């Protein structure tokens, strides 16, 4: 494979992640939280024909989105809420753990959804592309 | 093939994740819904910055209403008519306390299993078997029949609903998200239920089972020695020597035996509210105050909960201007003041709840015996929609006494006894109209007329007016009892044990402007023995004596002196018992720690301040001593009650050689000095254990007591533990580990009056608000806020947010 196509593949990882962040953020403002699942599946299906890590792209997208969103809320709130809610969980009792947990949980399901969409796409790819690994 | 498998596995994992993220499993909330920054708990994080002016339209209002929020988030509601006033009270209260209102009415109405599941079914059955919702429906009928209370309750209800219906799921209070259920519409019935929730909290405690079992085990004479009905050194609400008039000349008729019917020792499967739900209130006349005007004080002692049981509010409309503590879910102000008068409440503690042993004809339980005839049973089938299980039915049978609450179908008891409950909380009553009239009272006459309507829970209503009047009244619907009626279980097969009427309102103990220049109550006996009606109850013997001692020494008192009294940590019990313990304690070969503890105790000034270690030794010593002394009162889970600290002390003074002193589990004969020494040594050991278990905490009373304001969901995450505060039960600052002054108010009524208050919580019920627990530090330190009693149109610098609502 050419250097150019490797670079392209890497770039697609970031494009796909950014697309996911934008789409997911928009849809969640108007639809329930789970709307992120079909969105990630669709993005997994339609983008990044050569991307190797669909799970990671999906995970990072929602991790950044949810953790970032939570962080912004937490700053506005002076961590009043987060320092109480985190005590529900067996984690270090600080706002940061709750923000990271929020990002992780969002990332987990989004990564799986994108992976699912990505695999589904491969059913329709020509034979040689299926075995690029 | 591998691809298909991989795809299916991925799809299944995503699907499984979706299911877990969308559904509550056990204690874990639906993760996706809960953590989503848009619709989950993060959305409940309020900006820590201040609000600004805003204006909105609400369907249901008649005219514009202005709500000014002060720096403590207290709403000052200015309406142009009363319907709008209570509408806005409902709206704003729901805005801050919706989940709490919902939960408390679910507790009273026995509807927790609907949202939590089968584990709370027995608790729901208990609430409904106690007849709380049945009583609420009767009181609700009366509330809606009276045009005043109907308008207030309906407007309030509409206001609550206007708020609820403006909410999207993302706006629901945090607790709904955690427990995964939705708010439902408010009803006027829920307000009635909430008032029954308070009735149960304040009149639910009685000792009929315990007294009956004690009488059976040890006889009536011993019982009266242990639990004298009028002990020495009584300091009643109405000063001793006051002349009482009995307007009702018909004496109640006694049955042949006034003592309990013969039954086996009984269990009592019902949880009862804590008898420590007491309170203090008093008013001093101008002769004792620096300003020459009366000062009124009130601190109701209730469970320390979050969100706090009280919600502060100012209500203003033509004809009404009042400020004080309200109960979320009920309109009006419960403990507060207006431009002319102030009032406060303490629990009357007089027994209005009796158990009748009934005899069913056969297993079908369709008829019961009454004076040699079989009377028909009325039945009510209660339906419980249990989450995850569907409908469960429970039949409650009624005799003329009330619901047959105690029955073998409940709580798997071994006894075959059935008992019906007669309780004033079941009766038709309209406390709302009483409170409303009190809110509008202008003078002593209005106060009497208003309190006449207040039936249950009976309260000691203290009163002060800007014209200089002070008064107190032990008021409620009290049973006209024959001697001993209601102290024990009653024979439900005889009509002559039924209640024969009630004490006329005019005969309820009352005093206006007594010579001593103050009126006070702290849940003690309302009167001395000269009162012409028999009554029974569970009364306090320490706070009232300490309070009256302090009040009778007051001269030129200012609000600051009143604050000191409300926060007084003097342990009268210790001051009486400790010298007695030391006088009797034999000389022994003490260890160094024991010597040190004894020295600390001897130097102690009997003050339960936060940083005192001696108070821990004393409490452990006393409790250990009580346990050893009253070992006879532990019989196989039967309902028995040990004498209180005061009753114990006064008993031991009279019977120092009592047979109870001997520990029956040992062969030797224990003496009082032996018990005192043994429990002292054990107390020192327990104190050492506490220290080694809590290495990071200094050995102080506050740390040991661990006062906690507990969130209603029992979640420690939303609770505040180890609040640094002194006091204890039986101390004026009655703050124990889970109970305490739930609202402290000090008021000198009038246009130039002084108004102070604080409560252990905050105006917002939202754990994500800076107003959730912002008063707790101030409260713990015994400090107060100056309450803003605004005039219409007044612009005060402490007003932070003005909200204009238009129709």
Write down the pLDDT at residue A126.
58
Average pLDDT over residues B709-731: 95
A82 touches chain B (CB under 8 A): yes
Chain B from 274 to 293: CB within 8 A of any A CB:
none
DSSP B561: H
- Residue pair B743/B345 in contact (Cβ under 8 Å)? The answer is no
Partner residue opposite A119 with nearest CB, options B6, B31, B39: B6
Q: Which of B470, B499, B456, B442 is nearest to B348 (CA)?
A: B456
Q: Is B199 helix (H, G, I), strand (E, B) or coil?
A: helix
- Residue pair B153/B9 in contact (Cβ under 8 Å)? The answer is no
Please list the ranges in chain A whose pLDDT falls under 50. Answer: 131-133
DSSP B687: H
Question: Minimal Cα–Cα distance from A55 to chain B, Å?
Answer: 10
A109 touches chain B (CB under 8 A): yes
Write down the pLDDT at residue A6.
67
- Residues of chain A positioned with their CB less than 8 A from the CB of B37: 66, 69-70, 73, 102
Question: Minimal Cα–Cα distance from B721 to chain A, Å?
Answer: 12
The verdict on a CB contact (< 8 Å) between A80 and B32 is: no
Q: Which residues pair with B471 in a beta bridge?
A: B463, B512
C-alpha pair distances (Å), B393 with each of B103, B113, B116, B122, B385: 22, 13, 17, 12, 9
Token pair recorded at residue B164: 């609820």
Q: Is the pLDDT of residue B554 over 50?
A: yes
Measured CA to CA, the distance from residue B734 to residue B304 in angstroms comes to: 11
Other CB atoms within 10 A of residue B34 CB: 23
Please provide residue B745's backbone torsions phi and psi, each rounded to the nearest 5 degrees.
Answer: -135, 135
Burial class (CB in 10 A: 0-12, 13-18, 19+), B756: buried
C-alpha pair distances (Å), B744 with each of B169, B279, B562, B756, B758: 36, 10, 10, 8, 5
Measured CA to CA, the distance from residue B298 to residue B741 in angstroms comes to: 9
- Residues of chain B positioned with their CB less than 8 A from the CB of A116: 7, 10-11, 14
Q: Which of B82, B40, B48, B37 is nearest to B63 (CA)?
A: B82
Q: Indicate the helix (H) or strand (E) that contains B783.
A: none
A28 touches chain B (CB under 8 A): yes
Partner residue opposite A78 with nearest CB, options B3, B44, B48: B48
Burial class (CB in 10 A: 0-12, 13-18, 19+), B596: middle
- Residues of chain B positioned with their CB less than 8 A from the CB of A41: 14
A119 touches chain B (CB under 8 A): yes
Average pLDDT over residues B510-519: 96
- Residues of chain A positioned with their CB less than 8 A from the CB of B45: 73-74, 76-77, 80-82
B8 touches chain A (CB under 8 A): no
Instruction: Please name the residue ranges forming H helices in B206-280.
Output: 208-226
B18 touches chain A (CB under 8 A): yes
Q: What angle do CA B500, B506, B510 make, to 5 degrees?
A: 115
Measured CA to CA, the distance from residue B594 to residue B591 in angstroms comes to: 5
Residues 6+ apart with CB under 8 A from A44: A54, A58, A113, A114, A115, A116, A117, A118, A119, A120, A121
Write down the pLDDT at residue A132.
46
Residue of chain A nearest B35, judged by CA positions = A102
- Residue pair B77/B315 in contact (Cβ under 8 Å)? The answer is yes
DSSP B51: P
Would you place residue B772 in the very low, low, confident or very high pLDDT band (cuts 50, 70, 90)? very high
Q: Is B328 helix (H, G, I), strand (E, B) or coil?
A: coil
A37 touches chain B (CB under 8 A): yes
Would you place residue B520 in the very low, low, confident or very high pLDDT band (cuts 50, 70, 90)? very high
A84 touches chain B (CB under 8 A): yes
Average pLDDT over residues B440-448: 97
Token pair recorded at residue B478: 């009290």
Residue of chain B nearest A65, judged by CA positions = B37
Instruction: Please name the residue ranges forming H helices in B257-325.
Output: none
- Residues of chain A positioned with their CB less than 8 A from the CB of B713: none
Write down the pLDDT at residue B50.
60
Average pLDDT over residues B393-400: 94
The verdict on a CB contact (< 8 Å) between A81 and B768 is: yes
Write down the pLDDT at residue A131.
47
Determine the residue among B1, B2, B4, B14 to mutate to test chain A binding: the one whose Cβ has the most chain A Cβ atoms within 10 Å.
B14
Determine the residue among B18, B29, B36 to mutate to test chain A binding: the one whose Cβ has the most chain A Cβ atoms within 10 Å.
B36
Q: What angle do CA B785, B787, B788 make, to 5 degrees?
A: 135
Average pLDDT over residues B679-687: 97
Q: Which of B782, B776, B737, B786 is nearest to B306 (CA)?
A: B776
Other CB atoms within 10 A of residue A92 CB: 10
The verdict on a CB contact (< 8 Å) between A32 and B39 is: yes
- Residue pair B425/B127 in contact (Cβ under 8 Å)? The answer is no
Measured CA to CA, the distance from residue B415 to residue B637 in angstroms comes to: 13
Strands B335-338 and B341-347: antiparallel
Residue B50 — left, alpha, or beta (φ > 0 → left; ψ -120 to 50 → alpha)? beta
Residue of chain A nearest B714, judged by CA positions = A88
The verdict on a CB contact (< 8 Å) between A81 and B3 is: no
Beta strands in B647-718 (DSSP E): 707-711
Partner residue opposite B767 with nearest CB, options A70, A81, A105: A81
DSSP B28: B
Chain B from 136 to 195: CB within 8 A of any A CB:
174, 178
The count of C-alpha atoms lying within 13 angstroms of the C-alpha of B761, restricted to the half-sphere facing its C-beta, is 32
A24 touches chain B (CB under 8 A): no
Q: What angle do CA B659, B660, B666 make, to 5 degrees?
A: 90
Window from B50-59, B106-115, B303-312, B739-748 with minimum mean pLDDT: B50-59
Measured CA to CA, the distance from residue B701 to residue B613 in angstroms comes to: 6
A101 touches chain B (CB under 8 A): yes
A88 touches chain B (CB under 8 A): yes
pLDDT digits (tens, 9 = 90+) for B314-349: 999 999 999 999 999 999 999 999 999 999 999 999
Measured CA to CA, the distance from residue B149 to residue B448 in angstroms comes to: 18
Question: Minimal Cα–Cα distance from A41 to chain B, Å?
Answer: 10
* Cis bond before residue A127 (omega within 30° of 0): no
Residues 6+ apart with CB under 8 A from B286: B292, B293, B294, B468
Mean of the per-residue pLDDT values of chain B: 93
Return the higher-pLDDT residue of B414 and B22: B22
pLDDT digits (tens, 9 = 90+) for B49-99: 665 567 788 889 999 999 999 999 999 999 999 999 999 999 999 999 999
pLDDT digits (tens, 9 = 90+) for B451-465: 999 999 999 999 999
Measured CA to CA, the distance from residue A116 to residue B234 in angstroms comes to: 79
Q: Which of B528, B508, B527, B520 is nearest to B548 (CA)?
A: B520
Question: Minimal Cα–Cα distance from B276 to chain A, Å?
Answer: 30
DSSP secondary structure string for all residues of B574-597: HHHHHHHHHHHPPP----HHHHHH
Q: Which residues pair with B419 in a beta bridge?
A: B357, B406
Measured CA to CA, the distance from residue B81 to residue B316 in angstroms comes to: 9
Length of chain A: 133
Please provide residue B272's backbone torsions phi and psi, each rounded to the nearest 5 degrees.
Answer: -120, 150
B45 touches chain A (CB under 8 A): yes
- Residue pair A17/A57 in contact (Cβ under 8 Å)? The answer is yes
Q: Is the pLDDT of residue B775 over 80?
A: yes
Burial class (CB in 10 A: 0-12, 13-18, 19+), B653: exposed
Write down the pLDDT at residue B1.
55
Strands B707-711 and B305-306: parallel
Q: Is the pLDDT of residue B47 over 90?
A: no
Residue linked to tokens 């690994």: A133
Write down the pLDDT at residue A125.
65
Partner residue opposite A123 with nearest CB, options B3, B14, B32: B3
Write down the pLDDT at residue B413.
64
- Residue pair B747/B341 in contact (Cβ under 8 Å)? The answer is no
pLDDT digits (tens, 9 = 90+) for B343-368: 999 999 999 999 999 999 988 899 99
Length of chain B: 807
Q: Which of B565, B579, B599, B549 is nearest to B727 (CA)?
A: B565
- Model pTM above 0.80: yes
Write down the pLDDT at residue A133.
42
Determine the residue among A53, A63, A88, A127 to mutate to test chain B binding: the one whose Cβ has the most chain B Cβ atoms within 10 Å.
A88
Q: Which of B455, B321, B384 is nearest to B793 (CA)?
A: B321
DSSP secondary structure string for all residues of B72-97: T--EEEE-SSHHHHHHHHHHHHHHHH
B209 touches chain A (CB under 8 A): no
Burial class (CB in 10 A: 0-12, 13-18, 19+), B256: exposed
CB pairs under 8 A between A and B: 112
A122 touches chain B (CB under 8 A): yes
A98 touches chain B (CB under 8 A): no
Q: What angle do CA B375, B378, B383 make, to 5 degrees?
A: 160
**Angle between helix B572-584 and helix B592-603 axes, rounded to 10 deg:** 130
The count of C-alpha atoms lying within 13 angstroms of the C-alpha of B645, restricted to the half-sphere facing its C-beta, is 21
The verdict on a CB contact (< 8 Å) between B36 and A109 is: no
Measured CA to CA, the distance from residue B107 to residue B97 in angstroms comes to: 16
Question: Minimal Cα–Cα distance from B759 to chain A, Å?
Answer: 20
B37 touches chain A (CB under 8 A): yes
Write down the pLDDT at residue B407.
87
Measured CA to CA, the distance from residue B531 to residue B506 in angstroms comes to: 13
The verdict on a CB contact (< 8 Å) between B45 and A113 is: no
- Residue pair A57/A51 in contact (Cβ under 8 Å)? The answer is yes
- Residue pair B136/B188 in contact (Cβ under 8 Å)? The answer is no
Write down the pLDDT at residue B774.
95
DSSP secondary structure string for all residues of B260-321: PP-------------TT--EEEEEE-TTTBSSSS-EEEEEEEEE-EES-S-EEEEEEETTEE
Partner residue opposite B37 with nearest CB, options A34, A66, A108: A66
B10 touches chain A (CB under 8 A): yes
A14 touches chain B (CB under 8 A): no
Question: Minimal Cα–Cα distance from A84 to chain B, Å?
Answer: 5
B218 touches chain A (CB under 8 A): no
The verdict on a CB contact (< 8 Å) between B32 and A34 is: yes
- Residues of chain B positioned with their CB less than 8 A from the CB of A58: none
């Amino acid at each position: 494979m050419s250097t150019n196509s490797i670079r392209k593949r890497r770039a697609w990882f970031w494009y796909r992640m950014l697309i996911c962040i934008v789409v997911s953020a928009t849809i969640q403002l108007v639809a329930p939280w789970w709307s992120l699942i079909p969105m990630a599946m669709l993005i997994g299906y339609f983008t990044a024909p050569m991307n190797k890590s669909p799970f990671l792209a999906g995970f990072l997208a929602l991790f950044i989105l949810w953790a970032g969103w939570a962080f912004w809320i937490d700053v506005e709130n002076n961590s009043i809420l987060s320092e109480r809610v985190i005590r529900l969980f067996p984690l270090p009792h600080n706002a940061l753990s709750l923000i990271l947990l929020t990002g992780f949980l969002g990332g987990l399901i989004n990564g799986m959804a994108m992976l699912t969409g990505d695999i589904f796409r491969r059913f329709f790819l020509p034979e040689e592309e299926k075995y690029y690994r | 093939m591998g691809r298909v498998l991989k795809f299916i596995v991925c799809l299944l994992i995503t699907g499984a994740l979706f299911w877990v993220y969308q559904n509550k499993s056990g204690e874990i909330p639906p993760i996706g819904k809960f953590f989503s920054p848009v619709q989950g708990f993060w959305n409940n994080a309020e900006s820590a910055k201040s609000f600004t002016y805003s204006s909105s339209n609400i369907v249901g209002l008649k005219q514009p209403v202005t709500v000014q929020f002060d720096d403590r988030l207290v709403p000052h509601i200015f309406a142009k008519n009363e319907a709008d006033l209570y509408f806005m009270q409902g709206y704003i209260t729901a805005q801050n306390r919706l989940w709490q209102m919902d939960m408390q009415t679910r507790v009273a109405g026995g509807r927790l299993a609907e949202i939590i599941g089968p584990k709370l079914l027995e608790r729901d059955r208990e609430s409904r078997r106690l007849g709380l919702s049945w009583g609420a429906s009767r009181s609700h009928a009366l509330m809606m029949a009276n045009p005043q209370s109907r308008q207030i309750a309906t407007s309030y209800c509409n206001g609550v609903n206007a708020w609820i219906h403006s909410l999207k799921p993302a706006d629901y209070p945090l607790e709904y998200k955690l427990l995964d259920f939705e708010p439902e519409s408010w009803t006027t019935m829920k307000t009635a239920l909430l008032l029954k929730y308070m009735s149960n909290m304040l009149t639910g405690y009685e000792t009929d089972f315990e007294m009956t079992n004690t009488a059976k085990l040890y006889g009536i004479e011993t019982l009266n020695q242990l639990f004298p009905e009028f002990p020495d050194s009584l300091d009643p609400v109405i000063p001793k020597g006051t002349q009482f008039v009995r307007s009702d000349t018909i004496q109640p008729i006694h049955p042949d035996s006034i003592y309990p019917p013969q039954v086996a020792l009984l269990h009592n499967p019902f949880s009862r509210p804590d008898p420590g739900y007491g309170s203090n209130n008093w008013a001093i006349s101008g002769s004792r105050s620096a300003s020459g005007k009366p000062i009124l004080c009130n601190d109701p002692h209730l469970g320390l909960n979050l969100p706090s049981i009280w919600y502060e509010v100012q209500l203003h409309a033509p004809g009404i201007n009042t400020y004080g503590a309200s109960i979320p879910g009920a309109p009006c102000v419960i403990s507060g003041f207006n431009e002319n008068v102030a009032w406060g409440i303490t629990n009357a503690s007089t027994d209005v709840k009796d158990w009748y042993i009934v005899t069913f004809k056969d297993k079908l339980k369709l008829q019961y015996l009454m004076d040699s005839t079989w009377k028909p049973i009325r039945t009510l089938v209660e339906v419980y929609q249990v989450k995850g299980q569907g409908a469960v039915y429970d039949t409650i049978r009624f005799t003329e006494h009330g619901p047959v609450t105690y029955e073998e179908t409940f709580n798997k008891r071994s006894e075959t006894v059935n008992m019906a409950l007669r309780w004033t909380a079941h009766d038709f009553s309209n406390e709302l109209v009483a409170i409303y009239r009190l809110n509008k009272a202008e003078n002593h006459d209005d106060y009497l007329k208003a309190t006449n309507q207040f039936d249950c829970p009976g309260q000691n209503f203290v009163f002060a007016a800007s014209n200089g009047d002070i008064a107190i009244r032990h008021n409620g619907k009290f049973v006209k009892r024959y001697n001993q009626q209601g102290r024990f279980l009653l024979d439900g097969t005889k009509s002559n044990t039924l209640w024969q009427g009630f004490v006329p309102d005019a005969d309820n103990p009352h005093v206006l402007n007594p010579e001593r220049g103050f009126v006070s109550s702290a849940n003690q006996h309302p009167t001395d023995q000269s009162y012409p009606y028999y009554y029974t109850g569970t009364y306090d013997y320490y706070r009232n004596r300490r309070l009256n001692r302090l009040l009778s020494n007051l001269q030129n008192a200012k609000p600051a002196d009143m604050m000191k009294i409300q926060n007084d940590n003097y342990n009268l019990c210790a001051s009486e018992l400790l010298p007695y313990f030391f006088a009797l304690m034999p000389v022994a070969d003490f260890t160094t720690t024991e010597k040190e503890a004894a020295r600390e105790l001897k130097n102690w000034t009997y003050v339960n301040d936060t940083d005192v270690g001696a108070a821990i030794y004393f409490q452990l010593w006393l409790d250990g001593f009580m346990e050893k002394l009253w070992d006879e009162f532990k019989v196989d889970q039967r309902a028995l009650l040990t004498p209180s600290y005061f009753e114990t002390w006064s008993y031991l003074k009279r019977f120092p050689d009592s047979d109870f002193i001997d520990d029956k589990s040992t062969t030797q004969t224990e003496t009082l000095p032996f018990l005192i020494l043994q429990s002292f040594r054990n107390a020192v050991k327990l104190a050492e254990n506490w220290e080694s278990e809590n290495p990071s905490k200094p050995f102080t009373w506050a740390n040991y007591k661990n006062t906690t304001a507990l969130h209603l969901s029992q979640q420690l995450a939303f609770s505040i533990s180890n609040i640094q505060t002194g006091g204890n039960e039986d101390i004026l600052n009655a703050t124990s580990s889970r109970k305490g002054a739930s609202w402290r108010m000090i008021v000198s009524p009038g246009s130039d009056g002084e108004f102070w208050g604080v409560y252990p919580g905050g105006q917002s019920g939202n754990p994500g608000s800076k107003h959730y627990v912002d008063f707790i530090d101030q409260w713990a330190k015994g400090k107060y806020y100056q309450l803003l009693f605004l005039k219409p149109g007044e612009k005060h610098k402490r007003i932070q947010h003005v909200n204009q609502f238009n129709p």
